[in-house]
Amino acid sequence: MQAILDAESNAFHASILAPVSAYHNDAPRCLPNFLWSHIGPEKTAADLVRAVEAAARHGADNRDRETDELRHSLRSVEQHVRWHRGRVVMVSPGHHPTWVDGAKNFLAGMCGGARVQALRSSGTHLRVTTVHQDAVMPYGMRLTVDSHVIEQHLWRVRNVTSVHVYMNDDYFVNRDVAITDLLNEYGGTIVRTERGIIAAGAVADGSASWAKGVLHTQQFNTQELDVLHEDYLPEALVTMWDSLKRVNRSASAAAVTSISVPPLDEAVDVAHQYEPDPLPSKSLMPRRPRRYATHAPFAYCTNMFRFFETRYEREFAAAALRHRSRKARDLFIPFVYNAFIMARPWQASPKFLPYLLELHRSRRLGRTDAMSPTQIVLDNEDGCGPASLLSGAAESDCVFAKFLNNLTLNEAVVERVRQVNPLYFNINAGFSSAEASDQLRRFLHGKFPTPVYLEVGGRTSSAGAAAAAEEGALSRLFGDLMALPVVGVVSYEEGVCPLVRSLALAFAGHHRGGVRVSVEQHGGATLREARAALGHRVVSAMPAPACAYKEQVSVDPAARGESVAEIARRAMGEMRGGVELPWTCGGGGAGLRVRGFVVDARTRGAPVRSAAALRDALAVPAQTLSLEDFRAVAVGPSEGDVVLVVSREDAEAQAVHWVNGASESDLLLTYPLPVEAYEDMDAEVRWSVP
C-alpha cells in the first residue's frame, strides 16, 4: 500500500507526468509480494485470480470474516421495522450478497404483480441496491480500507433523504421499532450513547488504537464546540473558498447566496495544497460531558454531513489522502455527529456558513450597521431538528456484545442478549476459529430464522402455489433478459475494459449474453495524449491486469453523434427475437419487446479540453441495477421493440451511481480483477499502465 501511495504522491508533485515510475519492464513495482510469482510468461488471469482468492481466504481478519451477519441484519430490519418504505442501500467495495435473489431484485419492483406490490405495505423491501464505495469517495484517493474516512462520505448516496439511518452489518434490531425510537417529537434524531463519559481530549499518535482515536476526536470536538466561538471561521478556509470559487454571490456581489458543497473531484487537490489547522497539542478539558457512541443504528440528519464536508473540507481531505487504513488520528464520525447535533443543530443549515462569511466580511470592513438576521428552521430540511439524548444501557436500550474464540463466554453473551432483550444489539467480532463462527451463525439464525422476500428461496408467510408460480415466472423472465446482449458506448478506448468489468456488479454476476462496445470516433486526441497535454498529475498506481476478452465481447468504432437507437441497431445487426415484458410490469413496460441493454457511458463534450473535464472523461456504472433504472428506447421494427438504456446523462434523474476517472487505471482501481464471464482466463496477464 505504501509503495502505491508513494508512487501516486511522486506523480502528483512531479514537474512532468511520469506515472510509469510505478512500473518496470511492464510489471508494476507496487505489486504485493504474494503476487510476484504470478508475473511473467505463462502466468494467466486464472492464476492471478486464484492467488488473490487464496490470499483473501487466509488474510481476512476478524473484521472482514464472513459469518452471515449482513443477511440476518436485514432480516432483523424487515422483522422489526415494518413501517419502513424507503430504500435499502448497501455500500461495499463491490461485493454484492450472493444470497440475494437476482430475479426478484431486478424485476419485483416493476413486474412483481399486485400480490408482490402489496408486500410493501408490511415493510417488505422489493430491492436492495449495492453501491460501490468508490462512487461516493473522493477522486484520486479511493484506495482505502479506512472505514472512518468512508463514513464521512456515505451521505453522498444519491437521493438520500433528509434523515437517514446508518447501520454496520453487525447491528441487529431485536424488538419492534417505532418511528419515535429514531426521531423525537420535533423531528430531531435520537442520539443513543453509553453511560461512560469521555475523558479530556488528546492528540493521537500514528497508531491505530481505537481508545486513542476516541480521545483524538474528543480533542477535535472540544476545540470546535467548547474553545472556539460559534462564529469562528478560519481565514485560511475563506481564502481557499475564494481561490476554488466555492462562494456564490448575488448578481450585485453584495451578499453570499451559497457556498458550494466540495466536489469529490477536487478533494485530492485540497489534500495536497491546503493544510488543516492543527489541533492544540495540550489536552483540552471539555466544558460539557460527551459520552461514548453506542454500537447501534444511527439516525442521522443529512444536512449536518453537508456542513461537515464543507466546513471541515481540509480535515476530511487530509484524512482521505494520508489515512488509507484505520488510524487513531481519524475523526470518528458517530462521535463528531453526536457532539455537533446536541450542541449546534442550526449549523447544518445551508444558510449558516454564508451568514458566517458575510459576518466576517462585515467585521473586516469595519461596518457598524447590524447584519440582516438569517432565519434557520430546525426541521431537517434546513437546520437539523433538535436532538434527544438517551445514555446508558437502560435508556439507550442497547447491548454491546462481542464474540471470542471462547465458546463458553460466547454462550454467556447470547444469554445476556436473551435476558436483557434490548431494542438493538451488535456482535463485535473478536474470534478467529471456525467453531466460534458456526456458533454465531446458529445464534443469529435462531433469532432471525425467517428469510426475507429477496433471499434466494425466500417466501412470504402467505406463500402458496400462486406465489410459487409468480416467482417461477419472474425467474424465467430474468433468465431470458440476462441472455440478451449488452451494448456499451464510450468516447475513449480506455473506457472499454472498465465498462466490461462493471457489468459484473451492474447485473450482479447474472448476465451471460454477449457484450458489444462501440468507441465513439470524435477525432480528438487520445486520453493519454490529453493527460500529457493538460499536465494531469493524479495517477492510480495500484496494479490492475488489463482485459483480454472472450469471443462474446467485441469492440467496434461508432460515429460521433450517433443516437442510442442507431448504435443499438448497428450493434445488434439483423438479430430478431427479444424478450416480451408481461402484463404485470408497470411503468408502461407491459408488452414491450426488449432486444437488449445499452450502457451509454459517452463523455459529454468529448474530446476533453480542460483539467476539470479530464477527471470526468470516463465513467462506468458503480451499483447493482434493477429494471426501474433503465429507460426504454425504441429501435424498431415496431414501436414496441426497445432497448433498455442506462446512461451517464440520466444518472441524477434515475439516482444511478457511476464512478469516474481520467484513465483506464483510475477505473480499474474500482474493478481490478478479470471477470470470467467476459474475459479469457487462460490469457497471459498484461498490466494496465497509467
Q: What CA–CA distance (Å, rounded) separates 97 from 105?
A: 11
Claim to verify: residue 234 and residue 347 sit in the same structural domain: yes
Q: Which of 388, 405, 422 is the last residue of a domain?
A: 388
Whether 94 is in a domain gets the answer no
Q: Which of 388, 409, 444 is the last residue of a domain?
A: 388
Collapsed DSSP state (helix, strand, coil) of residue 595: strand
Whether 404 is in a domain gets the answer no
Global pTM value = 0.94
Whether 417 is in a domain gets the answer no
Domain range holding 291? Answer: 190-388
Whether 78 is in a domain gets the answer no
Whether 17 is in a domain gets the answer yes
Q: What is the DSSP string of 265-316?
A: GGHHHHHHH-PPPPPPSSPPPPSS--EEEPSSPEEEEHHHHHHHHHHTHHHH
Label the pairing between strands 579-580 and 593-600: antiparallel
Question: Which pLDDT does position 20 carry in this prediction?
Answer: 47
Q: What CA–CA distance (Å, rounded) separates 15 from 35?
A: 32
Segments in the chain below pLDDT 50: 17-21, 24-25, 461
Q: What is the DSSP string of 523-589?
A: SS--HHHHHHHTT------S--BPP-B-TTEEEEEEETT--HHHHHHHHHTT----EEPPTT-TTTT
Task: Look at the chain and report how many structural domains it folds into.
Answer: 2
Within 8 A by CB and 6+ apart from 279, the residues are 203, 216, 219, 220, 223
- Locus of grid cell 406465489: 467
Claim to verify: residue 506 and residue 361 sit in the same structural domain: no
Claim to verify: residue 225 and residue 344 sit in the same structural domain: yes
Locate 467 and state its grid cell: 406465489
- Please give the radius of gyration of the chain, using alpha carbons only, rounded to the nearest integer: 26
Question: Which pLDDT does position 54 carry in this prediction?
Answer: 84
Q: What CA–CA distance (Å, rounded) separates 10 from 205?
A: 25
Question: Which pLDDT does position 15 carry in this prediction?
Answer: 56
Question: Which pLDDT does position 26 carry in this prediction?
Answer: 56
Whether 534 is in a domain gets the answer yes
Q: What CA–CA distance (Å, rounded) separates 479 from 103?
A: 8
In the chain, what is the greatest distance between 2 CA atoms, to the nearest angstrom?
79
Claim to verify: residue 523 and residue 376 sit in the same structural domain: no
Collapsed DSSP state (helix, strand, coil) of residue 631: strand
Claim to verify: residue 493 and residue 368 sit in the same structural domain: no
CA dist list (Å): 617 to 43, 536, 663, 671, 678: 32, 12, 8, 17, 24
Locate 368 and state its grid cell: 457598524
Question: Which pLDDT does position 25 carry in this prediction?
Answer: 46
Q: What CA–CA distance (Å, rounded) separates 422 from 393?
A: 9
Whether 82 is in a domain gets the answer no
Contact, 382 vs 376, CB < 8 A? Answer: yes
Question: Which pLDDT does position 232 carry in this prediction?
Answer: 96
Claim to verify: residue 372 and residue 504 sit in the same structural domain: no
Locate 578 and state its grid cell: 427479444
Whether 96 is in a domain gets the answer no
Q: What CA–CA distance (Å, rounded) separates 244 from 236?
A: 12
Q: Packing angle between helix 333-343 and helix 210-222, nearest 10 degrees?
A: 30
Q: Which of 388, 408, 424 is the last residue of a domain?
A: 388
Question: Which pLDDT does position 13 carry in this prediction?
Answer: 79
Within 8 A by CB and 6+ apart from 652, the residues are 158
